[in-house]
């Protein structure tokens, strides 16, 4: 069994039992203690577990990150509207980085620009854009993460560093006054490199991201434009304006009282 498969099964076990010891990992997967420890180190580095005496456990105060498919459904009306507005910022013949965010997926679905080059490590973005014959798709290769439907690993960042893009579209798990936050350290590395290699960075996020927390930070200094679906809190907006970040608030036509 590959390490990636074991890690996913360890997380499934933790959802039920809350904690797992080194001995549990050894007996469950029939692996050595050294292998079990390497699995623990990997999970801790990715920020999805905390180390305990003799094993690992789920973080008590952090809401579990839902699967990609579940996140795609959440706030789908708002994300679709954000994606539509974000896609309008892409011009013909541009080279564009597309992150693995579920909101960025909606950007991919609404692209109208012609003769662009889309660079991505998202399986779903590739599937959406492959239906178009008037654009080029460059896939950032690496290991396949089946749960989050992306390619990952050092080769992804290495390839990004060799490309110059006009725009990068990224998402965020959480937004706090001091920056953007993500559950995995590699998420930040990939987005930071995309930002460094792009002339303009566009963050596409729905309003729920301003009320949650996550672990690893990316500074606002990498962001040029934010496209969201509701008004940003006043204090946050003042800070973003101070950093010269353009804010596009594309209110949806949906009203909670059912009118319109």
Within 10 Å of residue 61's Cβ, how many Cβ atoms? 6
In 146-240 the beta strands, taken as DSSP E runs, fall at: 150-152, 165-170, 174-176, 179-182, 198-204, 216-218, 225-228
Residue 258 maps to a domain: no
Residue 257 maps to a domain: no
Q: What is the pLDDT of residue 90?
A: 98
- Evaluate if residue 82 carries a pLDDT over 60: yes
Q: How many domains does the chain have?
A: 2
In terms of C-beta density within 10 A (0-12 exposed, 13-18 middle, 19 or more buried), how is residue 4 classed?
A: middle
Residue 74 maps to a domain: yes
- Evaluate if residue 196 carries a pLDDT over 70: yes
The token duo for 178 is 């001091």
Q: What is the chain's Cα-based Rg?
A: 19
Indicate which CATH number applies to the domain containing 30: 1.10.10.10
β-strands 225-228, 246-249 pairing: parallel
Distance CA 8, CA 14 (A): 10
Q: How confident is the model at residue 70 (pLDDT cuts 50, 70, 90)?
A: low
- Evaluate if residue 231 carries a pLDDT over 60: yes
Mean pLDDT of 214-227: 94
Same domain, 25 and 49: yes
- Evaluate if residue 46 carries a pLDDT over 80: no
DSSP H or E segment with residue 95: strand 95-98
Structural domain span for residue 34: 3-57
- Evaluate if residue 171 carries a pLDDT over 90: yes
Across the chain, what does the average pLDDT equal? 86
- Evaluate if residue 76 carries a pLDDT over 80: no
Same domain, 139 and 220: yes
Residue in the block written with tokens 């973005």: 125
DSSP-H helix ranges across 59-199: 68-73, 76-87, 102-110, 123-129, 154-160, 185-196
């Amino acid at each position: 069994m590959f390490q990636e498969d074991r890690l996913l099964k360890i997380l499934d076990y933790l959802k039920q039992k809350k904690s797992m010891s080194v001995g549990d990992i050894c007996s469950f997967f029939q692996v050595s203690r050294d292998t079990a420890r390497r699995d623990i180190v990997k999970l801790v580095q990715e920020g999805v577990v905390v180390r305990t005496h003799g094993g690992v456990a789920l973080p008590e105060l952090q809401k579990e990150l839902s699967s990609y498919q579940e996140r795609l459904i959440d706030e789908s009306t708002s994300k679709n509207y954000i994606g539509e507005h974000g896609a309008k910022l892409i011009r013909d013949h541009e080279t564009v980085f597309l992150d693995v965010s579920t909101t960025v997926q909606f950007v991919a679905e609404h692209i109208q620009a012609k003769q662009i080059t889309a660079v991505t490590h998202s399986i779903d973005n590739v599937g959406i854009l492959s239906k178009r014959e008037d654009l080029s798709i460059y896939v950032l290769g690496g290991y396949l993460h089946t749960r989050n439907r992306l390619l990952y690993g050092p080769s992804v960042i290495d390839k990004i560093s060799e490309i110059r893009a006009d725009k990068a579209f990224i998402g965020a798990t959480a937004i706090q006054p001091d920056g953007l936050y993500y559950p995995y350290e590699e998420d930040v590395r990939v987005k930071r490199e995309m930002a460094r290699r792009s002339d303009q960075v566009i963050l596409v996020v729905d309003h729920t991201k301003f009320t949650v927390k996550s672990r690893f930070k990316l500074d606002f200094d990498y962001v040029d434009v934010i496209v969201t679906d509701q008004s940003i809190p006043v204090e946050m907006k003042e800070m973003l304006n101070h950093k010269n970040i353009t804010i596009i608030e594309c209110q949806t036509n949906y009203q909670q009282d059912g009118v319109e």
